[in-house]
Amino acid sequence: MSNLENQALTQQVPHLFIVMGVSGTGKSSLAQQMADELSLVFVDADDFHSEQAKRHMAANKPLTDEMRAPWLAAIIAELNALHQQGKSVALAYSGLKSAHRELFRVLGFHCHFFYLVASKAVISERISNRESHFFSAELLDSQFEAMQTPLLSEQDISTINIDRNFLSVANEISSLAQLITRKANNV
């Protein structure tokens, strides 16, 4: 698909594509790839964590819902501003809680989630190979415990197995995003 066709698809109706999963699944890289390929604005939820929250996680302590509240508010404020500009977005965001996922559905975008899954062993290995990230590998268990599997009512979530090479996963996500965009815009 040409860049001009991608722009036409995403300009008709603002979309919010959320790449979600526990830490180490490749959310940021995959959302960035999708944003580049489909001419979307890339937003990384990690950029909205306070320094205090980053230090908390680096000290092997999971965030509480109270600590997540200002983080979520900052992400939503950014998304609202982008929506007002008619921009479509690829967001890298954990999406651990069903109630938190619901906050994004009411923003006025056509919203769709890509839920990245793999075994804990695969994700643990990926985390151990990351450099200069505030998230401690020791917190992975707390991420798996906090991750609420999508509910049957959450029909806007596609599960993506990431236990394969990056390009295969990225191509699957981009293809699905293009299909979803076409359906929403009746193209």
Predicted confidence (pLDDT) at residue 109 exceeds the cutoff of 60:
yes
Q: Please give the backbone phi and psi of residue 88, each rounded to the nearest 5 degrees, phi first.
A: -90, 150
The total number of structural domains in the chain stands at 1
Confirm whether 136 is domain-assigned. Answer: yes
- pLDDT tens digit string along 123-148? 888 777 766 555 555 677 888 888 89
Location of structure tokens 């295969």: 168
Q: What is the pLDDT of residues 162-181, one digit of tens each?
A: 999 999 999 999 999 999 99
Domain that holds residue 41: 14-185
Q: Which spans in the chain are helix H? A: 3-12, 27-38, 51-58, 65-84, 98-105, 120-128, 140-146, 166-185
**DSSP of 158-169:** EEEE-SS-HHHH
CATH for 125: 3.40.50.300
Q: How far apart are CA 160 and CA 169, in angstroms?
A: 7
pTM of the model: 0.86
Any domain includes 111? yes
Task: Please check whether residue 4 lies inside any domain of the structure.
Answer: no
The phi, psi pair for 42, rounded to 5°, reads -90, 130
In a domain, 92, yes or no: yes
- The answer as to whether 115 is a domain residue is yes
CB count, 10 Å around CB of 51?
8
* 5 within domain boundaries: no
